[in-house]
């Protein structure tokens, strides 16, 4: 849905976070992916807590990368490692190719001031500052002149739709509005990298949906590189370009939402996907038949369109719908191709169940 | 009948041992009165140590004192030089800004009272001390609070030191300061700083540790340097809590400034109260006391309002005038009134003929009352004395005489008493469980012989056993060591007198206080009526509470008892009401659904569940009682409080210090015991009470 380039913004290589008295002995010998699970189990036996275990992933420029996991899965630790709010125990974090973990305190402050923004679950607003002062806070720390502060704050306030609330205090705002302030504050410094730690989890379901839509709208205009944390699988599906599922500090699977649903890596992922309405998640690009050539009579739709949106159109156009990318057709969606894709996804579950049964026997 | 546990046997054994020791008391007098020859000479040692300190460091402290005197005199001169109308206008304006016109009106009237009654310069002298000591105490408190927030090691040192500074009675501070820093108002200043800084430390630590993690992370992500994180994120977020600390610090500082005037020579309002009280000019003393009470209330309201005030209109790109509106208006009001006072001279010097000083009328009124109702007053006094106070102190054995009770406590009556006591104990043992039987046996013994005539080894053993039962080995050892110190230092008789007076006052105020608390929790009207009274009693410097009681009942132990009760009853009421009102709603609903009557609900549901909170109330009642005990020594009590005065009067460091430490020991033991009991009940009930 966004123009995602292949260029890497942020890269996480074998990152570990271990809560222990002294974790260095564990990393004396070279750690590779193969024995990571084993090492993590050994740490637990020793009473240490491995909160992130050998985590590796890339975030591309302009991409929404979602880290999804239940509480205690290490997702919040992970996003804090990326900004060094939590110091990783081991590994590399490359921002534009430079290792963030090697930066001095001074350099880190500078990076946070200009290149990163972060939104928090419970907003993290300063209770003693007005909406305006909260949003201007990062700018005023940098010593940006007042006139420029006013101008930049006005811009982000417009972006998040908070006009007229500048002089309110956080306690006078609803949860949704408070999070708008949080979002505006994180955007005021115009960062390229945007971290959102469960930004909508503290909000009511209705407000949450509305905020998700607005978040997508904002991202459409800003094209930031985003790491988005959530425990809500459906939210992840709705928002993610690519997502990563974590469990017990370990990466379970990385891929696009459709990939995860069609090919869940294990039972754990499959369990999340079980109740997902496939037609809503799968997109034209996931169900099209690339062999078939579109004809001129066929209606044309963008390949990022959800299957749900195509269904009614399909009922009137039995011959199929042309799926387009950047103005040129890449294949045809037909009733048959949709059914094949859906059946494949369902069968995937069954096949796996059958295999498991075999193994256990 | 419940099964016997080891602890019950131990208690029975102890009571039996007490009775045996009492039987032996005529042949072995050392059991009752700890012999002078056995006293460890702690007092002289302390004096030698103090002399050494004064000889070696005296000049240093004197120099420090001289340096402090400069700003203090400056503020005092400034406040005395300012026309009263200017001070009045400025304080009224500040009250208006922090709270609104109600507080402004109150401040205006309170300060006007000081002018009209003619205590202006005395009030300003006291205010000057507070004005210097509060900023100092807040600065020290904020610094130490920040230090102990960042460093666990610092916290381990600062925490216990603060506990000690606040449990040692205020008067005991004055003595070493007096000896080190020399005579003069600086003593009051230093004592008040030392006494007043701990609340700021506590609240600073609390405030800083309560800043949400996300707010700090947000600050870090905004790119705050460590300095910016502290001054622009942590401190402002914690500010409200810190300001609550400032409020408490101000009140403590003021109360110490008043207490310190006992040294004299300061010409402040506390001295006015004290000297008139000594001359039995109660009308004058009351009028000056009201000044103190009003000052306390004004300071309390202003600082409390500043702490909870909402942030003002935010400043977005405002001009110079808008940003400094408060300062500009403050200056304008000050200058305006000052200018006006150039033309209207009564705004500078309030004419004496306009003063209203109804002291004589008050005196006459009180005299009339006392003379007219002398019979009633004496009846109350003697009844309380013979039937309540003396039995606890000296026991029925000594109290019951034809003169007091109207009959002889003959052998037959004593036998009857013993039979009744044993019978009641046995009945309780079989019907109500052994713990209650033990309690009854103890009370019967206590009332017969009197607290001060019980053998000290038995009392020591009982206190230790109780500590062990409630708090384990450590507490038991602490209790034994603390009380042992008092015995060895030779102040055991005074300790018992203090425990007797304070214990009786605490017991009575707790019973009455809980009863009032129950009423307040059941009837909103009672609650609304009691709240302002409690607030007032709590902000009042302790001195002032004495005045009305002395006016009517003259000096003596009974007056002291009433004064202690008046102050110590406040937490008993508050905690009882709070505990009863905070019983969980689901429990109440469940009980209602089962069909509890209002009475059953109170007795069988709310009271048992509110008990741990009430225990905390008892804890506070004891602490308040002990604090007031020292002050009450002013109106004639014998005990540790009196010893503190003797030490202060004679400049005898050892005597005063041993007594001061003794009171701290009693306070700490009582504190730990009630806390341990409350914790025990909480774990049993599975509830968690915030302190």
Given pLDDT bands bounded at 50, 70 and 90, which one contains residue A33? low
Residue A244: pLDDT over 90: yes
CB A126 within 8 A of CB A63: no
Does the interface ipTM go beyond 0.90? no
B 429-488 → A contacts, CB under 8 A = none
- Domain presence at residue B667: yes
- Domain presence at residue B627: yes
- Domain presence at residue B553: yes
Angle formed at CA B69 by CA B66 and CA B71, multiple of 5 degrees? 130
Return the closest-CA partner of residue B568 out of B499, B519, B503, B476: B503
Across the interface, which of B219, B224, B314 has its CB nearest the CB of A133?
B314
Cross-chain Cβ contact B316/A167 below 8 Å? yes
What pLDDT sits at residue A1? 45
B308 touches chain A (CB under 8 A): no
Domain boundaries, chain A: 8-115+191-273, 278-360
What pLDDT sits at residue B471? 85
Angle formed at CA B449 by CA B445 and CA B455, multiple of 5 degrees? 90
Give percent helix, percent strand, percent coil of chain A, each to the nearest 5: 45, 20, 30
Residue B541: pLDDT over 60: yes
Q: A182-240, pLDDT tens digit by residue? A: 999 999 988 999 999 999 988 888 888 889 999 999 898 888 999 999 999 889 988 99
Which of A113, A128, A182, A202 is the best mutation test for B, with the most CBs of B within 10 A?
A128
- Global pTM reads 0.80
Task: Give the DSSP letter of residue A197.
Answer: E
Residue B27: pLDDT over 80: no
Shortest Cα distance from A57 to chain B (angstroms)? 22
Return the closest-CA partner of residue B671 out of B622, B629, B610: B622
Q: What percent of chain B has pLDDT over 90?
A: 21
Q: Which residues of chain B have a CB within 8 Å of the CB of A137?
A: 219, 222, 232
Task: Give the DSSP letter of residue A19.
Answer: E
In the predicted model, what is the mean pLDDT of residues B199-221? 92
Q: What percent of chain A has pLDDT over 90?
A: 32
Tokens at residue B300, please? Answer: 């309390």
> What CATH number corresponds to the domain at position B502?
1.10.3720.10
Q: A151-191, pLDDT tens digit by residue? A: 999 999 998 888 888 888 888 899 889 999 999 999 998 89
CB B549 within 8 A of CB B566: yes
Distance CA B97, CA B89 (A): 12
C-alpha R_g of chain B: 28
Q: A5-20, pLDDT tens digit by residue? A: 678 899 998 899 998 8
CB B186 within 8 A of CB B68: yes
Residue A58's DSSP bridge partners are A11
Q: Strand, coil or helix: what is A226? A: strand
Given pLDDT bands bounded at 50, 70 and 90, which one contains residue A242? very high
Select the more confidently predicted residue: B347 or B289: B289
Q: What are the CA-CA distances from residue B559 to residues B382, B549, B627 (Å)? A: 12, 6, 16
CB B198 within 8 A of CB B165: yes
Cross-chain Cβ contact B221/A186 below 8 Å? yes
Select the more confidently predicted residue: B250 or B431: B250
Phi, psi of A244 (to 5 degrees): -130, 130
Q: Which CATH class is domain A8-115+191-273?
A: alpha beta
Q: What are the CA-CA distances from residue B417 to residues B397, B404, B421, B446 (Å)? A: 11, 18, 6, 13
What pLDDT sits at residue B467? 92
A146 touches chain B (CB under 8 A): yes
In the predicted model, what is the mean pLDDT of residues B326-345? 81
Task: Give the DSSP letter of residue B268.
Answer: S
Cross-chain Cβ contact B223/A109 below 8 Å? yes
Distance CA A317, CA A340 (A): 18
Residue B264: pLDDT over 70: no
The alpha helices in B184-281, defined as continuous H runs, are 185-209, 213-221, 226-228, 235-260, 269-278
- Domain presence at residue B509: yes
Tokens at residue B486, please? Answer: 């008092």
CB neighbour burial string for A47-69, b if at least 16 within 10 angstroms, e if fewer: ebbbbbbbbbbbbbbbbbbbbbb
Nearest chain A alpha carbon to B222: A138
Tokens at residue A298, please? Answer: 């066929």
User: Which own/partner pairs from B577-580 qualify as long-range (CB within 8 Å, at least 24 positions apart)?
Assistant: B577/B517, B577/B518, B577/B520, B577/B521, B577/B527, B578/B613, B579/B517, B579/B609, B579/B610, B579/B611, B579/B612, B579/B613, B579/B614, B579/B617, B580/B517, B580/B518, B580/B521, B580/B522, B580/B606, B580/B607, B580/B610
CATH number of the A278-360 domain: 3.90.1280.20
The residues near A80 (Cβ < 8 Å, ≥ 6 apart) are: A86, A197, B217
A127 touches chain B (CB under 8 A): yes
CB A4 within 8 A of CB A63: yes
Residue B184: pLDDT over 80: no
Cross-chain Cβ contact A120/B218 below 8 Å? yes
Q: B502-523, pLDDT tens digit by residue? A: 999 999 999 999 999 999 998 9
In the predicted model, what is the mean pLDDT of residues B347-364? 77
Given pLDDT bands bounded at 50, 70 and 90, which one contains residue B691? very low
Across the interface, which of A113, A132, A185 has its CB nearest the CB of B316?
A132
Return the closest-CA partner of residue B257 out of B296, B214, B209, B211: B296
What pLDDT sits at residue B142? 95
Q: B459-493, pLDDT tens digit by residue? A: 899 999 999 988 888 999 999 999 999 999 888 88
- Domain presence at residue B646: yes
Distance CA B545, CA B630 (A): 13
What pLDDT sits at residue B144? 94
Across the interface, which of A113, A150, A195 has its CB nearest the CB of B223?
A113
CB A231 within 8 A of CB A214: no
Distance CA B577, CA B596 (A): 20
Q: Which residues of chain B have a CB within 8 Å of the CB of A121?
A: 214
Tokens at residue B562, please? Answer: 């009433």
Task: Give the DSSP letter of residue B151.
Answer: -
Distance CA B411, CA B286 (A): 50
Domain residues for B671?
A: 491-691
How high is the mean pLDDT of chain A?
85
Q: What percent of chain B has pLDDT over 70?
A: 96
Across the interface, which of A124, A130, A146 has its CB nearest the CB of B215?
A124
B527 touches chain A (CB under 8 A): no
Q: B35-74, pLDDT tens digit by residue? A: 877 788 888 888 888 888 888 888 888 888 888 888 888 9
- Domain presence at residue B315: no
- Domain presence at residue B577: yes
B525 touches chain A (CB under 8 A): no
Q: Which residues of chain A have a CB within 8 Å of the CB of B320?
A: none
Q: Which residues of chain A have a CB within 8 Å of the CB of B221?
A: 83, 85, 112, 116-118, 138, 186, 195
Given pLDDT bands bounded at 50, 70 and 90, which one contains residue B137? very high
Q: Which residues of chain A have a CB within 8 Å of the CB of B235?
A: none
Tokens at residue B395, please? Answer: 């026991």
What pLDDT sits at residue B1? 42
Q: A38-95, pLDDT tens digit by residue? A: 888 888 888 888 899 889 999 999 999 999 998 888 899 999 999 999 999 988 999 9
Q: Strand, coil or helix: what is A92? A: strand
Q: B647-673, pLDDT tens digit by residue? A: 877 878 888 888 888 888 888 888 888
What pLDDT sits at residue A358? 55
The alpha helices in B385-472, defined as continuous H runs, are 390-394, 396-399, 411-431, 434-449, 456-471
How high is the mean pLDDT of chain B?
85
Q: What is the count of residue pairs from A and B with beta carbons less than 8 Å apart?
A: 87
Cross-chain Cβ contact B317/A130 below 8 Å? no
Number of domains in chain B: 1
């Amino acid at each position: 849905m966004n123009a995602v380039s292949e260029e890497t913004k942020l890269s996480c290589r074998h990152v570990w976070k271990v809560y222990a008295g002294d974790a260095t002995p564990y990393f004396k010998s070279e750690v590779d992916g193969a024995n990571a699970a084993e090492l993590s189990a050994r740490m637990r036996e020793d009473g240490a807590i491995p909160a992130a275990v050998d985590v590796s992933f890339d975030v591309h420029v302009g991409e929404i990368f979602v880290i999804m996991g239940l509480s205690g899965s290490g997702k919040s630790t992970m996003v804090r490692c990326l900004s060094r709010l939590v110091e990783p125990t081991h590994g590399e974090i490359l921002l534009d190719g430079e290792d963030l973990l090697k930066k001095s305190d001074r350099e880190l402050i500078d990076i946070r001031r200009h290149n990163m923004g972060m939104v928090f679950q419970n907003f993290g607003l300063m209770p003693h500052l007005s909406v305006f002062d909260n949003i201007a806070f990062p700018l005023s720390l940098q010593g940006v002149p007042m006139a420029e502060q006013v101008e930049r704050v006005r811009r982000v306030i417009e972006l998040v739709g908070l006009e007229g609330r500048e002089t309110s205090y956080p306690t006078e705002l609803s949860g949704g509005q408070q999070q708008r302030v949080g979002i505006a504050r994180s955007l005021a410094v115009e960062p390229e990298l945007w971290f959102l730690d469960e930004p909508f989890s503290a909000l009511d379901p209705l407000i949450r949906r509305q905020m998700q839509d607005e978040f997508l709208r904002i991202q459409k205009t800003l094209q930031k590189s985003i790491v988005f944390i959530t425990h809500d699988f459906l939210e992840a599906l709705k928002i993610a370009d690519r997502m990563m599922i974590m469990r017990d500090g370990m990466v379970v699977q990385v891929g696009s939402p459709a990939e995860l649903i069609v090919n869940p890596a294990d039972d754990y992922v499959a369990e999340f996907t079980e109740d997902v309405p496939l037609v809503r998640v799968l997109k034209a690009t996931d169900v099209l038949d690339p062999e078939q050539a579109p004809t001129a009579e066929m209606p044309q739709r963008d390949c990022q369109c959800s299957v749900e949106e195509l269904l009614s159109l399909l009922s009137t156009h039995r011959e199929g719908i042309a799926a387009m990318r950047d103005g040129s057709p890449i294949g045809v969606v037909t009733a048959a191709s949709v059914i094949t894709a859906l059946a494949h996804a369902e069968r995937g579950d069954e096949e796996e169940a059958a295999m498991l049964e075999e193994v256990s026997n | 009948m419940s099964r016997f546990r080891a602890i019950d046997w131990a208690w029975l054994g102890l009571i039996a041992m007490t009775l045996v020791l009492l039987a032996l008391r005529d042949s072995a007098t050392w059991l009752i009165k700890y012999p002078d020859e056995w006293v460890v000479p702690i007092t002289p040692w302390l004096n030698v140590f103090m002399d050494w300190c004064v000889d070696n460091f005296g000049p240093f402290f004197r120099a420090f004192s001289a340096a402090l005197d400069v700003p203090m005199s400056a503020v005092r001169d400034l406040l005395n030089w300012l026309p009263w109308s200017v001070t009045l206008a400025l304080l009224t304006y500040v009250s208006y800004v922090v709270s609104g016109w109600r507080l402004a009106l109150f401040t205006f009237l309170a300060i006007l009272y000081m002018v009209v009654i003619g205590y202006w310069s005395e009030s300003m002298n006291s205010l000057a001390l507070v004005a210097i000591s509060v900023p100092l105490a807040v600065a020290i408190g904020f610094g130490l609070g920040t230090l102990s927030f960042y460093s666990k090691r610092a916290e381990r040192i600062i925490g216990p030191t603060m506990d000690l500074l606040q449990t040692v009675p205020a008067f005991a501070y004055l003595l070493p300061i007096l000896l080190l820093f020399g005579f003069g108002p600086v003593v009051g200043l230093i004592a008040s700083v030392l006494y007043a800084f701990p609340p700021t430390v506590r609240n600073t630590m609390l405030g800083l540790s309560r800043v949400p993690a996300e707010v700090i992370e947000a600050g870090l992500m905004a790119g705050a340097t460590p300095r910016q994180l502290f001054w622009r994120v942590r401190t402002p977020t914690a500010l409200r809590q810190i300001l609550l600390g400032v409020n408490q610090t101000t009140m403590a500082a003021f109360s110490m400034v008043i207490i310190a005037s006992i040294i004299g020579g300061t010409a402040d309002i506390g001295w006015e109260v004290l000297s008139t009280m000594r001359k039995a000019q109660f009308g004058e003393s009351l009028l000056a006391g009201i000044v103190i009470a009003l000052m306390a209330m004004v300071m309390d309201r202003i600082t409390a309002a500043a702490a909870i005030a909402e942030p003002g209109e935010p400043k977005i790109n405002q001009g110079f005038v808008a940003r400094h509106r408060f300062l500009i208006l403050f200056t304008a009001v000050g200058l305006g009134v000052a200018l006006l006072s150039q033309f209207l001279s009564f705004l500078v010097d309030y004419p004496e003929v306009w003063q209203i000083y109804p002291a004589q009328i008050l005196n006459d009124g009180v005299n009339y009352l006392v003379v007219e109702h002398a019979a009633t007053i004496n009846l109350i006094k003697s009844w309380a004395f013979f039937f309540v106070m003396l039995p606890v102190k000296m026991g029925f054995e000594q109290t019951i005489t034809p003169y007091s009770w109207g009959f002889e406590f003959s052998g037959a009556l004593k036998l009857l008493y013993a039979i009744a006591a044993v019978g009641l104990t046995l009945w309780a043992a079989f019907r109500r469980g052994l713990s209650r039987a033990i309690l009854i046996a103890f009370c019967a013994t206590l009332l017969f012989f009197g607290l001060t005539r019980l053998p000290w080894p038995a009392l020591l053993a009982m206190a230790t056993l109780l500590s062990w039962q409630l708090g384990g080995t450590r507490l038991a050892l602490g209790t034994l060591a603390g009380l042992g110190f008092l015995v060895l230092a030779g102040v055991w008789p005074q300790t018992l007198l203090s425990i007797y007076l304070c214990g009786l006052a605490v017991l009575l105020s707790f019973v009455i206080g809980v009863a009032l608390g129950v009423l307040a929790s059941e009837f909103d009207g009672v609650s609304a009526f009691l709240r302002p009274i409690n607030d007032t009693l709590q902000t009042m410097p302790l001195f002032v509470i004495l005045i009305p009681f002395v006016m009517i009942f003259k000096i003596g132990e009974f007056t002291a008892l009433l004064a202690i009760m008046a102050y110590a009853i406040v937490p008993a009421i508050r905690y009882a009401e709070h505990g009863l009102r905070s019983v969980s709603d689901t429990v109440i609903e469940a009980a209602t659904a089962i069909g509890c009557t209002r009475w059953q609900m109170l007795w069988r549901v709310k009271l048992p569940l509110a008990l741990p909170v009430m225990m905390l109330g008892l804890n506070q009642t004891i602490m308040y009682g002990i604090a007031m005990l020292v002050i009450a020594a002013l109106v004639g009590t014998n005990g540790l409080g009196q010893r503190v005065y003797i030490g202060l009067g004679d400049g005898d460091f050892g005597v005063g210090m041993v007594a001061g430490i003794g009171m701290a020991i009693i306070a700490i033991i009582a504190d730990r015991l009630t806390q341990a009991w409350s914790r025990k009940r909480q774990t049993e009930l599975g509830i968690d009470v915030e302190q």
